[in-house]
């Protein structure tokens, strides 16, 4: 951590723990950029799906996306641009989330995205979130937070979010998908989801995102 670099806050944690919501609130309150690293894995998954690749095609997915820009634009939700195409909505389906999780176990994919993410964080002034940001992407962040919540609460949050976006599914299916994703994200060999030393755990069961953000700001 350099004395002069503007603030970097890294928010880690499993699916549905509230990472995105809390990171966005922090970015707004503290006037920081918001970097959604999961959106980049999702963009890779979308490109892979369109190219007919599957969950085992990590090397090919990495090659496919090499040199293809994944960028973020303004807006709420923040726009995600894959080679200039707005894929903000297309990457938010459960299927793309599953493929993103499956492809994210492949080191070729991780290496490429982590390098891009490190570059995006280098100048500071950013809140980033994702399942490796406290351990790999920004281990020297000024503040490293791991959000948790019970499986039931996380599934319920994700289900409501999907319902709001008009995606029909059941709470049971969502809970099953999240449990599967937890398992995959936590047991992958390369950069598994875990609480590293020095990272502050914040349990978000029963507390709203603004209050979670209050607690994090209080830690600064």
List contacts with ligand DC (CB under 6 A).
Answer: 15, 37-38, 41-42, 97, 100-101, 104, 130-133, 181, 185
CA-closest candidate to residue 70, choices 46, 100, 43: 43
What span, in angstroms and rounded, lies between the C-alpha atoms of 116 and 201?
A: 26
Phi/psi of residue 44, each to 5°? -60, -45
Q: Which is nearer to ligand DC, 15 or 53 (CB)?
A: 15
Least distance (Å) from ligand DC to the CB of residue 3?
27
Least distance (Å) from ligand DC to the CB of residue 130?
3
CA-closest candidate to residue 122, choices 33, 213, 192, 39: 33
Distance in Å from the first CA to the final CA of the chain: 14
CA-closest candidate to residue 58, choices 114, 111, 97: 111
What span, in angstroms and rounded, lies between the C-alpha atoms of 176 and 172?
A: 6
Least distance (Å) from ligand DC to the CB of residue 94?
10
Least distance (Å) from ligand DC to the CB of residue 85?
18
Q: Which is nearer to ligand DC, 19 or 218 (CB)?
A: 19
Q: Which is nearer to ligand DC, 32 or 147 (CB)?
A: 147
| Torsion from C-alpha of 187, 95, 56, 16, nearest 10 degrees | -20
Q: Are the C-beta atoms of residues 201 and 148 closer than 8 Å to each other?
A: yes
Least distance (Å) from ligand DC to the CB of residue 16?
8
Q: Which is nearer to ligand DC, 180 or 214 (CB)?
A: 180
CA-closest candidate to residue 5, choices 143, 175, 193, 153: 143
Q: Which is nearer to ligand DC, 9 or 133 (CB)?
A: 133
Least distance (Å) from ligand DC to the CB of residue 129?
7
Q: Which is nearer to ligand DC, 37 or 204 (CB)?
A: 37
Question: Measuring CA to CA, how many Å separate 103 from each of 24, 130, 217?
Answer: 25, 15, 34
């Amino acid at each position: 951590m350099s004395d002069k670099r503007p603030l970097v806050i890294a928010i880690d944690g499993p699916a549905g723990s509230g990472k995105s919501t809390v990171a966005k609130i922090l970015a707004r309150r503290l006037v920081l950029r918001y970097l959604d690293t999961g959106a980049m894995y999702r963009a890779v998954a979308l490109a892979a799906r369109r190219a007919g690749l599957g969950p085992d095609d990590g090397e090919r997915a990495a090659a496919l996306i090499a040199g293809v820009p994944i960028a973020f634009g303004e807006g709420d939700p923040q726009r995600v641009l894959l080679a200039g195409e707005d894929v903000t909505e297309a990457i938010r389906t459960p299927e793309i989330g599953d493929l993103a999780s499956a492809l994210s176990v492949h080191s070729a994919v991780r290496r490429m995205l982590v390098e891009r993410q490190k570059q995006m964080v280098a100048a500071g002034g950013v809140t980033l979130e994702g399942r490796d940001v406290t351990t790999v992407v920004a281990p020297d962040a000024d503040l490293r937070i791991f959000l948790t919540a019970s499986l039931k609460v996380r599934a319920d949050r994700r289900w409501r979010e999907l319902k709001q976006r008009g995606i029909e599914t059941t709470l049971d299916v969502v809970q099953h998908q999240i449990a599967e994703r937890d398992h995959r994200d936590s047991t992958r060999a390369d950069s598994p989801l875990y609480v590293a030393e020095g990272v502050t755990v914040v349990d978000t069961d029963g507390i709203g995102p603004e209050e979670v953000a209050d607690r994090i700001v209080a830690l600064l």
